[in-house]
Amino acid sequence: SSELTQDPAVSVALGQTVRITCQGDSLRSYYASWYQQKPGQAPVLVIYGKNNRPSGIPDRFSGSSSGNTASLTITGAQAEDEADYYCNSRDSSGNHPLFGGGTKLTVL
Amino acid sequence: QVQLVESGGGLVKPGGSLRLSCAASGFTFSDYYMSWIRQAPGKGLEWVSYISSSGSTIYYADSVKGRFTISRDNAKNSLYLQMNSLRAEDTAVYYCARREVTMGDYFDYWGQGTLVTVSS
């Protein structure tokens, strides 16, 4: 299918570890990238490729992939990590970028 | 530093047209694919269109195909989106984003967005 599926909402206690997942058939062929979006702001790239962080992204953010599922893991979540997270890859044709529906992360 | 600044958003009636612009700076614009991505109020991200570095390859989402036209002027470091036959469901913040395709496939820089409201 040409869809990327994310859980709508996830919560984590401050300082704990949380995994946000993204499922889709295209993830068997293409890496996912992950974006963090805080209210009223543009999205920010946090993970790309196999497991790469852009400059300035804390190393508590990491990415992984297995089969049709890509994951974004935040190890030791901070209050400032509370945001919406979107995965991105390609659709089944390989020509069109595709975004997941987004996961709202709450840090308790 | 890389900067992307969108402009051209506003209020337009259904069936109307609007042209968005994105001014790029801080990198060699002609080396990069560029894309438009939108976000309806309270909704998720939706890819709209992308254009290759030379402009020779262009793709559109099915939701805008035949109504929107993406273009670029590498001499002016600018990206454009001509939007015709606008519908209420096109109401969204439109982001310009740089798409990295040689070292992977991702959107590494985004503008702050410009709001398009389609309403009578």
**Interface A-B: count of C-beta contacts within 8 A:** 62
Residue A97 is nearest to which of B47, B108, B109, comparing CB atoms? B47
pLDDT value, residue A105? 98
Query: Taking CB atoms and an 8 Å limit, are B59 and A95 in contact across chains?
Result: yes
- Mean pLDDT over A45-54 rounds to 95
Per-residue pLDDT reduced to its tens digit, B29-48: 999 999 999 999 999 999 99
pLDDT value, residue B102? 80
Q: Does the CB of B46 have a partner CB in chain A at under 8 Å? A: yes
pLDDT value, residue A106? 98
pLDDT value, residue A99? 97
pLDDT value, residue A52? 95
Q: Does the CB of B95 have a partner CB in chain A at under 8 Å? A: yes
Per-residue three-class SS string for chain B: CCEEEEECCEEECCCCCEEEEEEEECCCHHHCEEEEEEECCCCCEEEEEEECCCCCCEEECCCCCCCEEEEEECCCCEEEEEECCCCHHHCEEEEEEEEECCCCCEEEEECCCEEEEECC
Percent with pLDDT over 70 in chain B: 100
Question: Rounded to an integer, what distance in angstroms lies between the CA atom of residue A23 and that of residue A67?
Answer: 9
